[in-house]
Homo-oligomer: A and B are copies of this chain.
């Protein structure tokens, strides 16, 4: 599912660190070399390279990138070079300080489109970085009102079972509970919050399948159809991030490109955070849904090294 083209044979972390040093030192920076090295390494390889770099040159690679680069390219490169748990903790913290649905998306993505172990690592990193817990900052924030606050806290504090086991009877039963609440315009019903925030992803996929089979419409469409509140919109995002994150991220990319000006923060986040997870699926979804490709849209809306880093992370794509 990942789109990272790791070279074979792979240079050692020390070799990579040495070449990165060459790229950032002296007059001018070789952005091309930075992309060539870092964007073709997995998260664990990048972490080893950063370790080797710090040992060799007694400076932090991310700090050096920050000093040498600028603009959207810098933001993308730093996001990519940062440890993923730390990266997501920082994204969540930043999102908490802003207003608007797009920032709430970030919290839901971290909570629902991550593995339970990754979410846990994000919460650990959050405590280390910000001297408070993620759920504490959400619960205390004046930016959210109930029942949205409750939903967000429950989502970010979940640690779901990761097995494949599905109880079909339960899935059927809970699909009825969901349907009944959504139809009655009670998307915030306690059973909805309970199901969405505690059930494992395999179980939820089965529940959503029953929902569609029995009621003719996908649950995310039904949530949208029966409610126009901010809560409904965010519940829909959670449902997508849990069961088919590629649909959500295709939407994030598309909406960051459409309209006047590009929403670089969202575009960068979606591509950087998903490159190693499900970019291939996102590209397929994008093609089906928008009759164009991620590559074409990114090419049309960005330029320079920023375009280069995004396209490298998006990976080769048939036109």
Q: Which residues of A contact B (CB under 8 A)?
A: 116, 120, 123-124, 127, 131-136, 139-140, 146, 153-154, 157-163, 165, 190, 194, 197-200
- Tell me the smallest distance from the CB of A148 to a CB of chain B, in Å: 13
**Cross-interface CB contact of A136 among B124, B153, B162, B198, cutoff 8 Å:** B198
Q: In the complex, are the beta carbons of A133 and B157 less than 8 A apart?
A: no
- Tell me the smallest distance from the CB of A88 to a CB of chain B, in Å: 15
- Residues in chain B near residue A190, CB distance under 8 A: 146
13 CB contacts below 8 A, A to B, read A124-B159, A127-B159, A131-B161, A131-B165, A133-B158, A133-B161, A133-B198, A133-B200, A136-B161, A136-B200, A139-B198, A140-B194, A153-B154
Given contacts A120-B120, A153-B154, contact A127 B198 (CB under 8 A): no
The 7 closest A-B pairs by CB, nearest first: A157-B157, A136-B198, A127-B161, A139-B194, A123-B159, A139-B198, A133-B161
A136 nearest in chain B by CB position:
B198
> A162 vs B124: C-alpha distance in the bound complex, in angstroms?
10
**Cross-interface CB contact of A199 among B116, B136, B157, cutoff 8 Å:** B136
- Residues in chain B near residue A162, CB distance under 8 A: 127
> A116 vs B78: C-alpha distance in the bound complex, in angstroms?
30
Given contacts A140-B194, A146-B190, contact A135 B161 (CB under 8 A): no
Given contacts A139-B194, A146-B190, contact A158 B157 (CB under 8 A): yes
- Residues in chain B near residue A140, CB distance under 8 A: 194, 198
Q: In the complex, are the beta carbons of B160 and A133 less than 8 A apart?
A: yes
Chain B CB within 10 Å, residue with most, of A131, A133, A165: A133
> A159 vs B120: C-alpha distance in the bound complex, in angstroms?
9
> A132 vs B136: C-alpha distance in the bound complex, in angstroms?
25
- Tell me the smallest distance from the CB of A154 to a CB of chain B, in Å: 7
> A136 vs B159: C-alpha distance in the bound complex, in angstroms?
9
